[in-house]
């Protein structure tokens, strides 16, 4: 089955984008739990990713969700020790993820060098956890987009950008520090019912325009990932300023 074309959804500003996306995520989680008894969500770090987590945690209807049925993952992680301020999960924890009544067995963190010897071992362990927990098909994948068009830790032109490993890979020599990372592959990220690119700011305008127009992989990694049911570009007006039409 061919995935539907991506849909661009504009928001008046970053605050509105974050609030609406938090509500949209809450609804998606509720729907997934109602339909299948569980929900699997892949989070992202960065300013916008953590702001969406905060909006989710602060949502007035948050208690409508049985959070014991929700599994949280990350599309990528910096290969750094647990608790490091540069890790995506540390940022999301600080934004409010810990305030959701989640058991530790529902929050699946990418192992760092304090747990395993190499990024390759981390990727293997993370992939195995995905298999064991039935999370190979996500309900929602949240992705930020870098000014260079990277998503997760899949950088345009990087040797590992289009790796055909089935689930997770080690990434070395990333053009953005820290250089060693673990990332889900484009193939794995595309095993999601919904993929949301969440982007704000005029510094991302060119990246959004390239992504929406379907730029080749050497210019943008966004075209490598699509949701099975829906792919959304959730952006503010500044990020959408270079999009024609």
CATH of the domain at 70: 3.40.50.1360
The verdict on residue 245 lying in a domain is no
Render pLDDT for 177-236 as a digit per residue (tens, 0 to 9): 999 999 999 999 999 999 999 999 999 999 999 999 999 999 999 999 999 999 999 999
Is the residue at 54 inside a domain? yes
Whether the pTM exceeds 0.85: the reply is yes
In a domain, 171, yes or no: yes
The three-point CA angle 62-64-66 to 5° equals 95
Number of domains observed in the structure of the chain: 1
In this prediction, residue 236 carries a pLDDT of 97
Per-residue pLDDT of 14-38, as tens digits, reads 999 999 999 999 999 999 999 999 9
Inside any domain, residue 231: yes
In a domain, 242, yes or no: no
pLDDT digits (tens, 9 = 90+) for 90-146: 999 999 999 987 778 899 999 999 999 999 999 999 999 999 998 789 999 999 999
| 237 pLDDT more than 80 | yes
pLDDT, tens digit, for every residue of 150-162? 999 999 999 999 9
CA–CA gap between residue 221 and residue 54 (Å, rounded): 27
Contacts of 173 (CB under 8 A, 6+ apart): 158, 179
Judge whether 2 lies within some domain: no
* Contact yes or no for 192/138 (Cβ under 8 A): yes
pLDDT in tens, 63-84: 999 999 999 999 999 999 999 9
Residue 25: inside a domain: yes
Bin 152: left if φ > 0, else alpha if -120 < ψ < 50, else beta.
left
51 falls within a domain? yes
Predicted confidence at residue 142, as pLDDT, reads 98
Distance CA 190, CA 151 (A): 12
Token pair, residue 18, equals 């974050």
Q: Which domain holds residue 142?
A: 7-236
- Per the CB < 8 A criterion, the answer to whether 156 and 218 are in contact is yes
């Amino acid at each position: 089955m061919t995935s539907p074309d991506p849909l661009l959804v504009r928001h008046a500003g970053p605050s509105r984008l974050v609030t609406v996306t938090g509500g949209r995520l809450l609804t998606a989680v509720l729907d997934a739990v109602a339909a299948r008894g569980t929900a699997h969500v892949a989070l992202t770090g960065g300013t916008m990713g953590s702001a969406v987590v905060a909006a989710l945690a602060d949502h007035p209807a948050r208690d409508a969700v049985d959070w014991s049925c929700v599994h949280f993952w990350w599309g990528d992680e910096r290969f750094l020790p647990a608790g490091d301020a540069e890790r995506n999960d540390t940022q999301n924890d600080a934004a409010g993820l810990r305030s959701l009544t989640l058991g530790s067995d529902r929050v699946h963190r990418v192992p760092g060098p304090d747990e395993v010897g190499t990024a390759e071992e981390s990727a293997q362990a993370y992939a195995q956890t995905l298999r064991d927990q039935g999370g190979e098909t996500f309900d929602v994948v949240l992705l930020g987009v870098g000014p260079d068009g990277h998503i997760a830790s899949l950088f345009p032109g990087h040797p590992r950008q289009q790796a055909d490993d089935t689930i997770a890979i080690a990434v070395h020599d990333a053009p953005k520090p820290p250089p060693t990372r673990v990332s889900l592959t484009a193939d794995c990220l595309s095993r999601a019912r919904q993929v949301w690119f969440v982007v704000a700011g005029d510094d991302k305008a060119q990246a959004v325009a390239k992504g929406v127009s379907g730029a080749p992989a050497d210019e943008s990694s966004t075209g490598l990932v699509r949701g099975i049911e829906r792919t959304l570009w959730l952006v503010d007006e500044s990020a959408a300023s270079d999009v024609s039409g």
